[in-house]
Every structure is written in C-alpha cells, then in structure tokens.
C-alpha cells in the first residue's frame, strides 16, 4: 500500500520583536464555531491562500470568476481563471469519513467533464452572473481578467481550447486530509481524455490568542497531486513517494530520490492533438509537423512549446542568454519566420544573415517577401506547402546557421585579438 506522508506536528508559535510569544491552537473546520460556508468565502476572497504556484505555475495568479456555479453535475464551489486563460475549479470538503473523500474526487471530475463541454459564451454568462452578485458590475470575462484589446482574440482562443481539452486545475480543499494516493487512481484512469491536474490541499486553521486579542492563522499544504494525464498514463506525486507511474492496472513505484522537472503546460502531445482538431489540417499535416519537431531536435535546435505554436530556436553561439528565432509552427497549421535579423544585430552579429534567410526561404514560396519588413514573410505558409519544399527549406536553414556560427567565431576571434593588444 502506498500512502501519503505523515504531516503531523506541533502548533505554530509566533515570536514577536519584543520576545513575547503568541500561542496557537489548531481548530478543525468541523468545529461548530465556524459559520457555514466560511472556508469557501475565505478562499474566494483570498485566492492567494491556495499554493497554485507550487502545484502548477501556469494557472497562477488566480482571479475569482465564479461561486456556487451551476452545472449538470452539481454546484461548483469556486472557480478561478488567470489572465492566460487557465481555469481552476475548487471543491471544499470536510473530511468526516473515507467515503466523503472518494465522493469529492469523483464529484470534482464530474464538474470538469461538464465544464469541458461549455462554450466560451456559456462561461462568459456564468462570469457575468458572478460579477453582478459580488462586484456589482456586468463585466464579462475578458474585462474581469483585464485583457488588453490586442490580446483578446488570442485569449479567447486559448480559453476555448482549454475548455475543449479539459485542461483545468482541480483543487479539493479540506481539513485533516489523510488520503491514500492509490485511491485516486481509479477516478483518474476513467478520464484519460481530460488534461486536468488534480491536487488535494489541506487547510489548517489555528486560533491565536495574544493579549486577549483573537485572530486566526491559516496554513495551506499540498497533500497529493497528479502531474500528467497523457494517453492514459498518470503520474501521482505526494510528500512521501517521489513518483508513481500508473499504466492500466500495473503500478511501478520508483523510490529513488531525484528532482522532478517542471514541464511546459502545453506538451508536444497537447500540441499535435490540438493541431489535428484545426479545420483544414489533415493527418498528413500533423505527421509532417511531428517530423519537423523531431528533425529540429535532432539537428540540435531548441524547441519551445507555446500556447499557439512551437518555436525553433538557435541558442546564441556567442554565449549570451538570447535565443535566435529560426521559424515557428502555428496551431493554425502554418509556418512563419521573423525577428532573426534584429536578434542577430542585438547579439553583435551581421543582420544581413537573417535578411538573406528570410529572402531565400521566401523565394521557395512564390517570392513571399514582405515589401514593408525584410525580417518576416509576407504571409504564413501552410504545412502542406512547406512539405513540398521541405528539403530546400532545411538546406537554407542549415546554411544560415553555418553562417551565424562562422560569424560568431570571427567575432570572438577579433575580441580575443583586441584583448591581447
């Protein structure tokens, strides 16, 4: 049996500058002195209490957009979203018995499945209802998140994609959680199509008594969390076990101590799944995009997965922390180039190398040269069109990279010569 760690300890003591101390006493959330719904209101009004940056940084910071949100699966306690379009669903529970814990996990996943079927307009309507009640306004989602007008289309697309894929952060927040992480597996295995992250957060409340003045200290703690749910492979982490890999009914426990890498929120699997859903993008286009990514990694370039594209970068051979942008592949099924001439200039390398790359590659696609900007193509090129000229394109790309490396070596040699003088 694999269980989460034992987190019992003493009550915190606050030591003041004058040496005086404030004792604290743990109060279970089941205590009658708490007003009904107090944990919900505490979290809704103070979203910074939730350790989201520790669980999944991409979902931070939290902006409240819903309370007691009605779905076909029941009422969601609290909903948050961040300015990048990532949704967090919170369910608060008091852990009176094991059955209540299992029901909470099943319930929040049902919420996620229901919300994943929402449209942007349905989410927008829910946010307006929340704002009317709690902010006394009729603001929509984008205004609530304070999104700039120039970014509105991008954020709407990101929110729509996240809804469709179920890319949510699900938080079950309660008191005195002692959850066996194996008990989570059954629920997670039933929903491999959703790309959610789920975490259990224990909320410890301590009462402080200092000179007759009473206040409360709230301490949140992550108990267990899932890290990846891709192709029905689930990875669960908690405080006791470094990592658990679960595939089907087999469980492999790796107790070796090792650092866990922080992954990109958008994985390669995510990207290609989204690409396949894009209108006008065929199966051959998706396979070709996979080939591009594999080829570029094999050539030694850096791949950066972003919200709506993957970028191919060349680390500055002069040794700075800059990356030189070679090209990008969009979720729209198109390829584009840009910024390389200016980036080379900032690195002290000839800008003309970048301009030649843009011009030479543009000639492959019907003289696709931008007359107003020599650092970008006039239009983005569909994957199907690039596929026909891929060999020529990669030759131009390699020739450009060779020139950049030679120029950087020359620049370094000249710098060394000046140093010797």
How far is the C-alpha of 49 from the C-alpha of 305, rounded, in Å?
30
Half-sphere CA count of 127, side-chain side, radius 13 A: 20
Kindly report, residue by residue over 378-398, the tens digit of the pLDDT. Answer: 999 999 999 999 999 999 999
3-state secondary structure of 369: strand
The verdict on 78 and 212 lying in the same domain is yes
User: Is 399 inside any structural domain?
Assistant: yes
The verdict on 231 and 277 lying in the same domain is no
Q: Which of 263, 286, 315 is the last residue of a domain?
A: 263
- pLDDT category at 5 given cuts 50, 70, 90 is very low
The pLDDT value given to residue 193 = 53
Which residue, 234, 229, 255, is CA-closest to 246? 234
Inter-axis angle of helices 120-134 and 152-165, nearest 10: 110
User: Is 15 inside any structural domain?
Assistant: no
DSSP conformation class of 377: B
The verdict on 321 and 212 lying in the same domain is no
User: Is 154 inside any structural domain?
Assistant: yes
Kindly report, residue by residue over 198-254, the tens digit of the pLDDT. Answer: 888 888 887 776 666 667 788 887 777 665 433 333 333 433 323 222 222 222 323
User: Is 420 inside any structural domain?
Assistant: no
How far is the C-alpha of 340 from the C-alpha of 338, rounded, in Å?
6
DSSP conformation class of 320: -
The verdict on 319 and 353 lying in the same domain is yes
Q: How many domains does the chain have?
A: 2
Parent domain of 361: 269-412
Kindly report, residue by residue over 114-135, the tens digit of the pLDDT. Answer: 999 999 999 999 999 999 999 9
The H or E element containing residue 209 is: strand 197-210
User: Is 11 inside any structural domain?
Assistant: no
The verdict on 213 and 335 lying in the same domain is no
The pLDDT value given to residue 29 = 58
The pLDDT value given to residue 80 = 97
Evaluate whether 106 touches 93 at the Cβ level (below 8 Å): no
The verdict on 122 and 223 lying in the same domain is yes
Higher pLDDT pick, 148 / 362: 362
The verdict on 51 and 175 lying in the same domain is yes
The pLDDT value given to residue 65 = 96
Which residue, 289, 230, 219, is CA-closest to 49? 219
How far is the C-alpha of 65 from the C-alpha of 115, rounded, in Å?
14
User: Is 8 inside any structural domain?
Assistant: no
The pLDDT value given to residue 259 = 36
The verdict on 63 and 24 lying in the same domain is yes
The verdict on 239 and 276 lying in the same domain is no
- pLDDT category at 95 given cuts 50, 70, 90 is low
The verdict on 113 and 178 lying in the same domain is yes
Threshold 0.85, pTM exceeds:
no
The pLDDT value given to residue 385 = 96
**Percentage, residues of the chain above pLDDT 70:** 73
The verdict on 60 and 207 lying in the same domain is yes
The pLDDT value given to residue 234 = 37
Inter-axis angle of helices 390-420 and 351-363, nearest 10: 170
Mean pLDDT estimate for the chain: 78
Alpha-carbon Rg for the chain, nearest whole angstrom, is 26
The two counts, helices (H) then strands (E), for the chain are 13, 16
The verdict on 225 and 349 lying in the same domain is no
How far is the C-alpha of 360 from the C-alpha of 367, rounded, in Å?
9
Please state the length of the chain.
421
User: Is 418 inside any structural domain?
Assistant: no
Kindly report, residue by residue over 162-186, the tens digit of the pLDDT. Answer: 888 788 999 988 776 655 544 554 5
Q: Which of 246, 263, 280 is the last residue of a domain?
A: 263
Q: Which of 205, 231, 263 is the last residue of a domain?
A: 263
User: Is 152 inside any structural domain?
Assistant: yes
């Amino acid at each position: 049996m694999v269980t989460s760690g034992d987190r019992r300890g003493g009550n915190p003591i606050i030591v003041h500058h004058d040496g005086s101390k404030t004792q604290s006493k743990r109060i279970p959330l089941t205590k009658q002195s708490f007003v009904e719904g107090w944990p919900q209101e505490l979290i809704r009004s103070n979203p910074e209490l939730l350790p989201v940056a520790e669980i999944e940084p991409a979902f931070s910071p939290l902006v409240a957009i819903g309370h007691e949100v009605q779905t076909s699966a029941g009422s969601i306690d609290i909903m948050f979203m961040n300015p990048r379009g990532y949704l967090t669903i919170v369910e608060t529970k008091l852990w009176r018995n094991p059955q209540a814990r299992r029901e909470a996990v099943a319930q929040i996943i049902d919420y996620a499945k229901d919300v994943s079927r929402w449209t942007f307009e349905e989410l927008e309507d829910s946010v307006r209802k929340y704002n009317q009640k709690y902010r006394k306004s009729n603001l929509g989602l984008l205004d609530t998140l304070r999104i700039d007008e120039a970014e509105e289309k991008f954020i709407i697309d990101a929110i729509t994609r996240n809804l469709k894929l179920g890319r949510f952060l699900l938080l079950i927040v309660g008191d005195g959680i002692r959850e066996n992480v194996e008990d989570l597996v059954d629920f997670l295995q039933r929903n491999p199509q959703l790309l959610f992250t789920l975490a259990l957060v224990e909320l410890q409340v301590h009462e402080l008594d200092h000179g007759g003045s009473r206040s409360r200290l709230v301490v949140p703690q992550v108990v267990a969390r899932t890290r990846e749910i891709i192709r029905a492979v689930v990875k669960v982490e908690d405080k006791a076990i470094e990592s658990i890999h679960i595939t089907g009914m087999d469980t492999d426990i790796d107790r070796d101590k090792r650092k866990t890498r922080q992954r990109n929120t958008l994985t390669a699997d995510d990207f290609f799944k989204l690409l396949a859903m894009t209108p006008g993008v065929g199966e051959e286009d998706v396979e070709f995009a996979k080939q591009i990514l594999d080829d570029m990694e094999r050539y030694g370039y850096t791949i950066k997965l972003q919200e709506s594209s993957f970028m191919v970068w060349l680390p500055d051979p002069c040794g700075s922390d800059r990356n030189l942008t070679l090209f990008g592949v969009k979720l729209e099924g198109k390829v584009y180039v840009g910024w390389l001439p200016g980036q080379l200039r900032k690195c002290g390398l000839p800008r003309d190398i970048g301009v030649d790359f843009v011009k030479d590659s543009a000639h492959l696609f019907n003289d696709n040269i931008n007359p107003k900007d020599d650092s970008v193509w006039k239009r983005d090129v569909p994957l199907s069109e690039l596929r026909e000229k891929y060999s020529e394109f990669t030759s131009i790309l390699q020739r450009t990279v060779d020139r950049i490396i030679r120029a950087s070596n020359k620049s370094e040699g000249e710098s060394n010569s000046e140093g010797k003088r």
